A = this chain, B = another copy of it.
């Protein structure tokens, strides 16, 4: 009789995500069913789906933040800084503060491993990649200071950073030293963005 008084709305959502993440980290994404998550969270299956559209979102629920970061990186850049440079600086800054998006956050190794092992999570990330790209393209399109092919630039930026991030994840899973990884990460960001700005 899970009739607790806290009908907290968004609190249950957070609670479900938390419980689910725990189970996934413990037993792997594909080895945990939605019904199990629901039971462990003291909630019904339908309730889970009323908070999260897809199973993958239970683990990747903070992904949407990335869209906002990308948008503001472009929108709030100084007048004398180009789009490529603005995004580059944002990414370098995120790396400095070991932000989750840079995959340099401490203690997320297990998380990265689980994600890498589940094809359906990878697929979700791919879709998400294009969501970020679309948001970026939209931002560029409506940017009076930018002239050029918005869709193309957005695609190149996202693709380039994804390549960098994937390489960084691999080194994390290999267990390398975090500081060394961070340095290499930033170097790769710089090389990739140099390539976009000045050609291969």
Interface residues of A (CB under 8 A from B): 84, 123, 126-127, 129-130, 148-149, 151-153, 155-156, 158-160, 162-163, 166-167, 191-192, 195-200
Contacts and interface: CB of A to CB of B under 8 A. Distances in A.
Nearest to A84: B200
A197 B195 contact: no
Q: Say how many copies of this protein the assembly contains.
A: 2
A160 B199 CA distance: 13
A144 B199 CA distance: 21
B162 A155 contact: yes
A129 to B, nearest CB: 8
Nearest to A166: B151
B160 A152 contact: yes
B152 A192 contact: yes
A153 B196 CA distance: 10
A152 B193 CA distance: 10
A81 B127 CA distance: 34
Most chain B beta-carbon contacts within 10 A, residue among A163, A166, A191, A198: A163
A200 B196 contact: yes
